[in-house]
Amino acid sequence: MKRFSQRHPEKGIDFYLESLEPEIGFIEEIETPKLDRLVDAVSIITAHKCKGKEFRIVFLPLMVEGIFPIDPIIPQTYDKQIMYIGKRLNRADLEKNHYDEERRLIYSSMIKASERLIFSFSERINMQEKTSPSRFLVEMGLVPEEFSETEPYLGSIKNVESYFRSAATQSLKDLKEIIDYKSCEELVEKAFVSLHLLSKFGNKRKWWQNTKPTKNPNKPHPSGKLSASYSRVSTYKDCPAKYKFRYHFFIDQPKGISLYKGLLYHKIVQEFFNPEKENEYSFNQLKVIIDEIWDDNLFPFITVANEQKKDAYQSFEYFFNNLPPAKPNVLATEKEFSFSLDGNRFSG
């Protein structure tokens, strides 16, 4: 994405996402398992994965509200439909775009059937949550009469609770800004009706319990020291929250490529400037040291190891080209030090 931004600084995220679609489609096509190509076999795939395929018979199960179409999540940060620079879309527009996209998805799934297309839906999911038939089935006139009254499309009990909670919260918020309640009877009624209906669902005790205040026992710098190492500073610059979770709460991430790559780079630099060895001051000698120290076993796949090693050659070539013309008189590399200043102890 960084390279894309450098090559196309005038383009937006929507153009970037669209440019990925052909490549994704090609990868999906070449990675299609052989079983998917068999005639006398059943293929279980998602609606998103059926691109470029066709079947004699297609089954589309779970055609209920909340599943197909799925409930909109707002804001849909990575939905390319709302990536319009300089344009703010309200909730109604976002929901319309969402359901339009779901409608296109169901249509693309339907046209994959060459002979028969079978829909199915259930009154309940997991024998618990009561559901409504998908609005798309209603639009196509495929819902039996006993299920024809499907409005409003609120889906599961959880969705109903969420809807009325949102309506009640917004109504009460609006009422706080009003002085004359008599002129806003409709808003008052909406607030009370929402609260009344909200009380009919779920566990009321959990809703209205006051949340007890919490206290974070972690000190900003648990050891009493502030580390300004390159890795910590770069982590903070990249994402303060990431820094907080990793170095304050000690929620570390699994060791990955970057860590092992960094350890190898440290060893290479230390070996190249080792004062006890008379290494030739050249990039060729640096490449020899890279070959000696590099360990393919630190990486998950040999292809990844080769790619990272190639990247190391390029990085160290750039590094060497920025060194002094003559070999510097290096006494030590990454030698530990410490000193005091104004009552503070500094070490590194």
Three-state DSSP class for 145? helix
Quick one: DSSP state of residue 179? S
Q: In this prediction, what percent of the chain has a pLDDT beyond 70?
A: 68
Q: In which band, very low, low, confident or very high, does the pLDDT at 48 lie, cut at 50, 70 and 90? A: confident
Three-state DSSP class for 129? strand
Could you give the CA distance from residue 313 to residue 293 in angstroms, rounded to a whole number?
A: 13
Which has more confidence, 30 or 328? 328
The total of other beta-carbon atoms located within 10 Å of residue 161's CB is 17
Closest of 151, 139, 136, 146 to residue 67, by C-alpha: 136
The total of other beta-carbon atoms located within 10 Å of residue 191's CB is 20
Which has more confidence, 14 or 243? 243
Q: In which band, very low, low, confident or very high, does the pLDDT at 85 lie, cut at 50, 70 and 90? A: very low
Q: Would the pLDDT of 318 be above 80?
A: yes
Which has more confidence, 148 or 93? 93
Could you give the CA distance from residue 10 to residue 109 in angstroms, rounded to a whole number?
A: 35
E-strand stretches of the chain: 55-60, 113-119, 124-125, 129-130, 338-341, 344-347
Q: In which band, very low, low, confident or very high, does the pLDDT at 282 lie, cut at 50, 70 and 90? A: very high
Q: Which of 82-91, 148-157, 225-234 shows the lowest mean pLDDT across its residues?
A: 148-157
Q: What is the pTM of this model?
A: 0.34
| pLDDT at position 192 | 78
Could you give the CA distance from residue 122 to residue 127 in angstroms, rounded to a whole number?
A: 9
Q: Are 53 and 35 in contact (CB under 8 A)?
A: no
Rounded to the nearest 10°, the torsion over CA 69, 75, 76, 81 is: 90
Q: In which band, very low, low, confident or very high, does the pLDDT at 22 lie, cut at 50, 70 and 90? A: low
| pLDDT at position 293 | 93
CA atoms within a 13 Å half-sphere pointing along the CA-CB vector of 193: 8
Q: How many residues does the chain have?
A: 348
| pLDDT at position 130 | 67
Could you give the CA distance from residue 167 to residue 173 in angstroms, rounded to a whole number?
A: 10
Q: Are 76 and 82 in contact (CB under 8 A)?
A: yes
Q: Would the pLDDT of 251 be above 80?
A: no
Q: In which band, very low, low, confident or very high, does the pLDDT at 115 lie, cut at 50, 70 and 90? A: confident
Q: Which two tokens stand for residue 293?
A: 């120290």
Mean pLDDT of the 200-217 span: 60
Q: Would the pLDDT of 20 be above 80?
A: no
Q: Would the pLDDT of 286 be above 90?
A: yes
Mean pLDDT of the 205-217 span: 60
Q: In which band, very low, low, confident or very high, does the pLDDT at 84 lie, cut at 50, 70 and 90? A: very low
Mean pLDDT of the 219-248 span: 76
Q: What would you measure as the largest C-alpha separation in the chain, in angstroms?
A: 91
Closest of 63, 61, 62, 58 to residue 43, by C-alpha: 58
* Arithmetic mean of pLDDT over the chain: 75
Instruction: List, in sequence order, every residue forming a beta bridge with 59; answer none if it has no partner.
Output: 118
Residue 155 dihedral angles phi and psi, to the nearest 5°: 75, -130
Q: Would the pLDDT of 146 be above 90?
A: no
Q: Would the pLDDT of 35 be above 50?
A: no
The total of other beta-carbon atoms located within 10 Å of residue 67's CB is 17
| pLDDT at position 314 | 92
| pLDDT at position 28 | 52
| pLDDT at position 152 | 44
Closest of 276, 252, 270, 265 to residue 314, by C-alpha: 265
Three-state DSSP class for 64? strand
Q: Would the pLDDT of 283 be above 50?
A: yes
Closest of 112, 127, 140 to residue 46, by C-alpha: 112
Cβ within 8 Å of residue 348, ≥6 positions away: 228, 229, 336, 337, 338
Q: Give whichever of 6-15, 86-95, 148-157 has the largest mean pLDDT.
A: 6-15
What's the pLDDT tens digit per position in 237-246? 888 888 877 7
| pLDDT at position 310 | 92
Query: What is the dihedral sign for C-alpha 341, 346, 347, 348?
Result: negative
Quick one: DSSP state of residue 326? S
Q: In this prediction, what percent of the chain has a pLDDT beyond 90?
A: 10
Q: Which helix (H) or strand (E) holds 258?
A: helix 257-272
Pairing outcome for strands 344-347 and 338-341: antiparallel
User: Cα-atom radius of gyration of the chain, to the nearest Å?
Assistant: 31
